[in-house]
Homo-oligomer: A and B are copies of this chain.
Amino acid sequence: MGVVLYDYWRSSASYRVRIALGLAGLDWQAVSVNLLTGEHRDTQNLARNPQGLVPTLEIDGQTLTQSLAILEYLDETRGLGLLPADAAGRARVRALAHAVAMEIHPVCNLSVARHAVDASGGAITMESWMQRFIPPGLAAVERMLGDTATGRYCHGDTPTLADLCLVPQMYNAARWGIDTSALPRITAIMAALNDIPAVQAAHPDHFKPEG
């Protein structure tokens, strides 16, 4: 059985997993679950992903959900080096990853932001919601990176879990017109990350459904 990723092109969580699959050099197939037409809440998607979300990864006879759990699985089974060897380093990398994946991303998820907009009767806009949460969240990550453990990437000179969370978050920041010019550490790390073929190959533009 091949490796199948059920994803959506603009889903940050899917994007993280696409990068890891690329780093692993796996032969895998993407199956798009269209969030705009509600395919994620279909019986088929719920059967593979009880939360009704993307991504879901079919691999090794397992059906895995939740992007960071998938990244840790790929790291453990494919030796991607996404976490450093020392416990303190692993804690730092996970803290950086979670500073993006738990603090910024869930709040700025489209379904959450759209609910805020709708339930506020228009007093909240998509833009105002994103502006409220993305800039301070990224500024906090920038402060966390002001540490000697930061290297070419978020932690040392090889990409880690933290970098795989940062890439989609910066894509989203650009999408919402967030000014990131005051984030020199993140900007330098992003330049290094964008040189990695697996990062380039995972870009949403390559996974946009046709039509």
Contacts and interface: CB of A to CB of B under 8 A. Distances in A.
Interface in A19-64: 46, 50-53, 60, 62, 64
Nearest to A120: B120
Interface stretch (A3-11, A121-129, A168-176, A194-202): A121-129
Q: Among A68, A94, A98, A144, which residue has the most Cβ atoms of chain B within 10 A?
A: A98
Given A87-B77, A91-B62, A51 B106 contact: no
A101 B121 CA distance: 28
A69 B94 contact: yes
Overall SS of chain A's interface: helix
A206 interface: no
A95 interface: yes
Contact of A106 (B65, B88, B107, B120): B107
B51 A69 contact: no
A103 B51 contact: yes
B102 A144 contact: no
Interface string A61-99: 010111011101100110000000001101110110111
A51 to B, nearest CB: 4
Contact of A88 (B52, B60, B123): B60
A51 B145 CA distance: 11
A143 interface: yes
B95 A64 contact: yes
Contact of A90 (B73, B92, B115, B132): B73
A69 B50 contact: no
Given A50-B140, A144-B50, A146-B50, A94 B68 contact: yes
Nearest to A116: B116
B116 A95 contact: no
A119 interface: yes
14 contacts: A51-B103, A51-B143, A53-B103, A60-B88, A64-B91, A66-B94, A66-B98, A66-B99, A69-B95, A70-B91, A73-B90, A103-B106, A107-B107, A120-B123
